[in-house]
Amino acid sequence: QVQLVESGGGLVQAGGSLRVSCVASGRTFSSYAMGWFRQAPGKEREFVAAIKWSGTSTYYADSAKGRFTISRDNAKNTVFLQMNSLKPEDTAVYYCAADSRRYTDDVPIRQSHYEYWGQGTQVTVSS
């Protein structure tokens, strides 16, 4: 069982930056691909970014490319999402998730590939 706890959300002005973090419990974090998703009010949860267990491959939604960076520190059981040039449409609850398939070559973008989810952290971007 893996528990995920996000932090770092908050209120930021458009054009600003924010880094959200997700700390995982357990000894197997380094073997899981990790992803970030978000859900805006009245909308479905959507994929934002994902990173391979080794950190050697990443994948981004078109909305995140060039502005967001996903990274991980396996020694600290932590995955990060650095968000720059934030826009009001980035306002959402951001969730991290862990793919339970250990050492997969995938960088999964589908929610169905992720077994473990955090409780989310609110990011609000004001105009």
Burial of 17 (0-12, 13-18, 19+ CB in 10 A): exposed
Q: Are 93 and 38 in contact (CB under 8 A)?
A: yes
Residue 19 confidence (pLDDT): 98
Q: Which amino acid is at 28?
A: T
Residue 26 confidence (pLDDT) above 90: no
Q: SS3 of 8, please? A: coil
Q: What is the pLDDT of residues 72-125, one digit of tens each?
A: 999 999 999 999 999 999 999 999 999 989 999 999 999 999 999 999 999 999
Classify the phi-psi angles of 29: left when phi > 0, otherwise alpha if psi is within -120 to 50, otherwise beta. alpha
Q: Are 48 and 40 in contact (CB under 8 A)?
A: no
Q: What angle do CA 6, 20, 18 make, to 5 degrees?
A: 150
Q: What is the pLDDT of residues 32-85, one digit of tens each?
A: 999 999 999 999 999 999 999 999 999 999 999 999 999 999 999 999 999 999
Residue 27 confidence (pLDDT) above 90: no
